[in-house]
Amino acid sequence: MIKLESNIPAGELAEKWTNYKGSMNLVAPNNKRRIEVIVVGTGLAGASAAATLGELGYNVKVFTFHDSPRRAHSIAAQGGINAAKNYQNDGDSIWRLFYDTIKGGDYRSREANVHRLAEASKDIIDQCVAQGVPFAREYGGLLANRSFGGVQVSRTFYARGQTGQQLLIGAYQALARQANVGKCKIYNRHEMLDLVKVDGKARGIIARNLLTGEIERHAAHCVVLATGGYGNVFYLSTNAMGSNVSASWRAVRKGALMANPCFTQIHPTCIPVSGEYQSKLTLMSESLRNDGRVWVPKKKEDAVAIRERRMKGNDIAEEDRDYYLERRYPAFGNLVPRDVASRAAKVACDEGNGVSPTGLAVFLDFASAIERYGKAEAYSQGNTSPSEAQVTALGEAVVKSKYGNLFQMYEKITGEDPYKNPMKIYPAVHYTMGGLWVDYNLETNVPGLFALGEANFSDHGANRLGASALMQGLADGYFVIPYTIGQFLSGEIRTPKISADTPEFMEAEKAVQDRLAKIKNINGNQSVESFHRRLGKIMWEYCGMSRNAEGLKKGQQMIRELRAEFYKDVFVPGELDEYNPELEKALRVADFLELGETMMVDALNRNESCGGHFREEYTTEDGEAKRMDEEYTYVAAWEWNDQGEIILHKEDLKFDNVELKTRSYK
Amino acid sequence: MKLQLKIWRQKSADSTGRFETYTVEADEHMSFLEMLDVLNETLIHEKKEPVVFEHDCREGICGSCSMVINGRPHGPMQGTTACQLHMRSFKNGDTITIEPFRAKSFPVLKDLSVDRSAFDRIIESGGYISVNTGQAPDGNSLPIEKDLAGKAFEAAACIGCGACVAACPNGSAMLFTSAKVSHLGLLPQGAVEHSARVQNMVNQMDKEGFGMCSNTEACEAECPKEISVENIARLNRSYMASIMGSEK
């Protein structure tokens, strides 16, 4: 078993990061100028890291498969970014953000990393404001906040429903500034296809130029992966079509470990699947649960009538509706954390009360909010006895001002008016808490290989709270890696420029070329897309919102068979040496076919329910998740060896500052 | 619904392109790109080359889509990217023409995919505020009027898709460049470098071969984020001021 050293600094929790920063090794400016760093990925984590490392004086090579760094999928994050600023004077603090994140993650993340995240959160907001990110503001000109699920303070900063876009543009512009002065060289339309190790250290990558198909060798003193999550293993998810696991998975195939891969986040409010042709799912921001009430019909015959389009949601009388979140979780109501809300929707639909033709949807209803806001607005206008029509018109205007762009998006996709009829929503795969195993320095078990943002596992445990992904991506990129990378690079100041012409690079290049030729030469009869869809169905069925041992074993077997079939019968059109999106997709699906099996193995190993991982065998009497702290308070980090064996390595989690409690939102 | 598609096929940047006709069976709930997925699956099944088109988020925010549908960038719906367009906007028996964005500064790479890296180079020439990580004062130390922040946001909502250039008879990038100049220039943080930014970005825009603005306002009409041409007026004003009044 590989010994996993978390390298958490000694001392009090609140002082660890400060003391560590004060005592860590530095790289002097004259040496930084000679050192090269490769950053793969240009989302929030990658762009912020590359820009900051460039500012510090390192020579950075940045890779993205997109045509521009600005298109990375961080751009699609809607709701906001958390920070422990306590601008609202509602009792927020670094400790509280730390505690909420640990609890929200169901006690499966590292205390020290999460505390550092909470500390950095404040600096992120300052940095983004200085870059010109147009956050929402109050009339007095100061920054505005809103609430998100799983917390009782208002600490989320936002830019309408486009916070991710605005933050990414800030980081992209910082990166563009470094490109302009020559400290960052950006390789657009390049995809990393392998990691290169020299004497056990990560020293470069093999990348494919996606326009010409040329295979290129790129060397550096170290490699930083910020390549996002792997939600697309489920085929249908809220991820962008191109989001993939390949960079991380290639690192695993070179000895890095994949930690807690079965911890996936199913987001409760997405637009339901409408047909077999569906290519992706669209998220409706969690902020909607501030005002929307979730319900299904109490009577099965009503649900059937709605599914058969004989009735509409509005036809169901108030007393025949089951507002199941308010009923089951009175303390948090519609604002329970994501994993809890998603499972509750599944239970409602499994019981036969779903409201779309497929039976897989629940209502998210704004009628109460429209009435409440309408009455308040009429009152403030001096109208104490408004008509029903006046209340509705005024209320709809308020709801429009808060969620207008989301309502518009819903209407574009479904063709239904959410002001007049309740929205139909269903959970969908959204985020992956698992990722490459990293220590406190964000370094994997391969020396010189770092992983940031959604690509690592470290901060969200078994469930991520809303508005925390943007926070983590930017904390890692702006405020953690610029320091911790020095711990590794300070040992490299005598290392000359790494050559990409050594046998290690040549061998890796050859292996990539062989792999490409192998896949192309199968010349079978089934499209890449058809394999991806089938994999997604297996994952969703057996490793989705609820899992059991029997299903996971079956799922693992099915994936192995599917993988064998892929290598016998996949068809990739076009040539290797040209712009060929089908080839790109084939390589990504090949990696998903290995990751998927690892997820099944991880979920089967974890005999407990925690966060997004719900094992049917481990529930409390009232159907809630049952953690098994005695046996499973550890990080499961998986090795995939040359024989294709999946081997477990453990890092025990120690909680010195918080008490492990049953998470209750009742 | 049964549709006829006339799609621009071009093997590579330096080969000659042409329209080819296909028929496809679509469902009204499909998105436009899902309809193209169905076509591509059919082509792959027949061992033919699928149509290359750029796409990623499929929710209207990444700016990857770059196709002209029936003569309009992103198709017939106001304020909507091609990926958010749904087939209920079309009817059985329609013929739909699909071609890439066309502009001198956006060379076609393959089929419907074009090279928009000129936009990145415009941003690199000055579309940022020069602040290093760690230098920032507290976020609330600089109050910014709500409406002003809102205006900056509206300019910053640009997704960099290039529909403005494709819509413009001159292939001008004025809406794109002016949106960035407005976003940063309206905010006090960005005011310090405003003059230099305006000059550098306009110079780069010209260097990339984008055309001049002749106020047709087609860019605003086709912009999926409905960015206003007011930004162009603001850029022109700033550009004049930066030439006349600046010491640079």
- What are A299-307's contacts with CB under 8 Å, separation 24+? A300/A352, A300/A353, A303/A352, A303/A353, A303/A354, A303/A355, A304/A352, A306/A355, A307/A354, A307/A355, A307/A356, A307/A357, A307/A359
Split at pLDDT 50, 70, 90, the class of A665 is: confident
**CB-CB under 8 Å, A165 with B131:** no
- B223/A467 Cα distance (integer angstroms): 29
Nearest to B153 among A70, A159, A241 (CB): A159
pLDDT exceeds 80 at position A651: yes
Quote the ipTM score. Answer: 0.98
Percent of chain A with pLDDT over 90: 92
**CB-CB under 8 Å, A527 with B131:** no
- A633/A551 Cα distance (integer angstroms): 24
Neighbours of B244 (CB within 10 A): 7
Q: Where are the domains of chain B?
A: 2-110, 116-244
CATH superfamily name and code, B116-244: Alpha-helical ferredoxin (1.10.1060.10)
Residues of chain A in contact with residue B49, where contact means CB-CB under 8 angstroms, are 573-574
What is the sign, positive or negative, of the torsion defined by CA atoms of A417, B146, B151, B131?
negative
**CB-CB under 8 Å, A172 with B130:** no
pLDDT digits (tens, 9 = 90+) for B99-141: 999 999 999 999 999 999 999 999 999 999 999 999 999 999 9
Nearest to A137 among B37, B63, B149 (CB): B149
Average pLDDT over residues B144-155: 96
Is B196 near chain A, with CB under 8 Å? no
Nearest CA in chain B to A133: B153
Check if the beta carbon of residue A649 is closer than 8 Å to that of residue A634. no
- A191/A187 Cα distance (integer angstroms): 9
Smallest CA–CA distance, residue B212 to chain A, in Å, is: 24
pLDDT digits (tens, 9 = 90+) for B162-195: 999 999 999 999 999 999 999 999 999 999 999 9
Split at pLDDT 50, 70, 90, the class of A228 is: very high
Residues of chain A in contact with residue B3, where contact means CB-CB under 8 angstroms, are none
Is B66 near chain A, with CB under 8 Å? no
**CB-CB under 8 Å, A478 with B88:** no
Q: What is the pLDDT of residue A492?
A: 97
Into which CATH architecture does domain B2-110 fall? Answer: Roll (3.10)
If residue A63 lies in a helix (H) or strand (E), which one and from where to where?
strand A59-63
Nearest CA in chain A to B65: A71
Split at pLDDT 50, 70, 90, the class of A150 is: confident
The end-to-end CA distance of chain B, in Å, is 61
**CB-CB under 8 Å, B146 with A137:** yes
**CB-CB under 8 Å, A413 with B84:** yes
Token code pair at residue A437: 């195993």
Is B226 near chain A, with CB under 8 Å? no
Smallest CA–CA distance, residue B210 to chain A, in Å, is: 19
b/e burial code for range A146-163 (CB count within 10 A of at least 16 → b): bbbbbbebbbbbbbbbbb
Smallest CA–CA distance, residue B170 to chain A, in Å, is: 24
Is B182 near chain A, with CB under 8 Å? no
Q: Which CATH number fits domain A267-429: 3.40.630.30, 3.90.700.10, 3.40.50.620, 1.20.1560.10?
A: 3.90.700.10
What is the sign, positive or negative, of the torsion defined by CA atoms of B155, B157, B159, B163?
negative
Token code pair at residue A139: 């009339």
Q: What is the pLDDT of residue A622?
A: 85
Smallest CA–CA distance, residue B116 to chain A, in Å, is: 8
Backbone angles phi, psi at B56, to 5 degrees: -150, -70
- A161/A179 Cα distance (integer angstroms): 29
How big is the CA angle at A286 (ends A282 and A288), to the nearest 5 degrees? 95
Neighbours of A560 (CB within 10 A): 15
**CB-CB under 8 Å, A241 with B56:** yes
Q: What is the pLDDT of residue A623?
A: 84
Q: Which DSSP state fits B55?
A: -
- B69/A189 Cα distance (integer angstroms): 25
Q: What is the pLDDT of residue B248?
A: 60
**CB-CB under 8 Å, B37 with A277:** yes
- A483/A487 Cα distance (integer angstroms): 8
- A415/A450 Cα distance (integer angstroms): 45
**CB-CB under 8 Å, B139 with A573:** no
Split at pLDDT 50, 70, 90, the class of B9 is: very high
How big is the CA angle at A302 (ends A299 and A305), to the nearest 5 degrees? 155
Check if the beta carbon of residue A245 is closer than 8 Å to that of residue A594. no
- B128/A55 Cα distance (integer angstroms): 14
Task: Characterize the bridge pairing of strands B2-9 and B95-100.
Answer: parallel
Q: Which candidate in A155, A328, A338, A663 is catalytic?
A: A338
Smallest CA–CA distance, residue B62 to chain A, in Å, is: 5
Helix residue ranges, H only, A317-387: 324-328, 338-348, 367-380
Smallest CA–CA distance, residue B130 to chain A, in Å, is: 8
Is A179 near chain B, with CB under 8 Å? yes
3-state secondary structure of A54: helix
pLDDT exceeds 90 at position A282: yes
Average pLDDT over residues A288-306: 94
Split at pLDDT 50, 70, 90, the class of A304 is: very high
Percent of chain A with pLDDT over 70: 100
Split at pLDDT 50, 70, 90, the class of A552 is: very high
Q: What is the pLDDT of residue A332?
A: 87
pLDDT exceeds 80 at position A619: yes
**CB-CB under 8 Å, A173 with B119:** no
Is B1 near chain A, with CB under 8 Å? no
pLDDT exceeds 80 at position A149: no
Is B88 near chain A, with CB under 8 Å? yes
pLDDT digits (tens, 9 = 90+) for A110-138: 999 999 999 999 999 999 999 999 999 99
Q: What is the pLDDT of residue B169?
A: 97
Q: Residue A156: beta bridge partners?
A: A82, A146
Check if the beta carbon of residue A206 is closer than 8 Å to that of residue A217. yes
Neighbours of A656 (CB within 10 A): 8
Neighbours of B246 (CB within 10 A): 12
- A40/B84 Cα distance (integer angstroms): 29
pLDDT exceeds 90 at position B14: yes
Select from A596, A235, A257, A601 the least CA-distant residue to A455.
Answer: A257
pLDDT digits (tens, 9 = 90+) for A313-372: 999 999 999 999 999 999 889 988 899 999 999 999 999 999 999 999 999 999 999 999
Nearest to A130 among B54, B126, B189 (CB): B189
Backbone angles phi, psi at B9, to 5 degrees: -115, 130
Interface of A with B in 547-606 (CB under 8 A): 571, 573-574, 578-579, 581-582
pLDDT digits (tens, 9 = 90+) for A403-446: 888 899 899 899 999 999 999 999 999 999 999 999 999 999 99
Sheet holding B72-73, edge to edge: B18-25, B2-9, B95-100, B67-69, B72-73
**CB-CB under 8 Å, A280 with B45:** no
Smallest CA–CA distance, residue A198 to chain B, in Å, is: 32
Residues of chain A in contact with residue B115, where contact means CB-CB under 8 angstroms, are 67
Using N-to-C axis directions, what is the helix angle for B174-186 and B194-207, rounded to 10°?
170
* Fold classification of A523-633 (topology level): Methane Monooxygenase Hydroxylase; Chain G, domain 1 (1.20.58)
Q: Residue A61: beta bridge partners?
A: A38, A185
Q: Is A338 a catalytic residue?
A: yes
pLDDT exceeds 70 at position B59: yes
How many alpha carbons lie under 13 Å from residue B34 in its C-beta half-sphere? 24
**CB-CB under 8 Å, B12 with A579:** yes
Check if the beta carbon of residue A332 is closer than 8 Å to that of residue A286. no
Q: What is the pLDDT of residue B247?
A: 66
pLDDT exceeds 80 at position A384: yes
Residues near B195 by beta carbon (within 8 Å), at least 6 away in sequence:
B238, B241, B242, B246, B248
Q: Which DSSP state fits B172?
A: B
Using N-to-C axis directions, what is the helix angle for A163-180 and B117-124, rounded to 10°?
70
Q: Residue A293: beta bridge partners?
A: A365
Residues of chain A in contact with residue B58, where contact means CB-CB under 8 angstroms, are 240-241, 279-280, 282
Residues of chain A in contact with residue B33, where contact means CB-CB under 8 angstroms, are 279
**CB-CB under 8 Å, A137 with B184:** no
Q: Where are the domains of chain A?
A: 267-429, 523-633
The 3-class secondary structure across A174-224, one letter per residue, is HHHHHHHCCCEEEECCEEEEEEEEECCEEEEEEEEECCCCCEEEEECCEEE
Tell me what the pLDDT averaged over chain A comes to: 96
Longest dimension (CA), chain A: 83
Backbone angles phi, psi at A204, to 5 degrees: 165, -175
- A369/A293 Cα distance (integer angstroms): 9
Check if the beta carbon of residue B135 is closer than 8 Å to that of residue A56. no
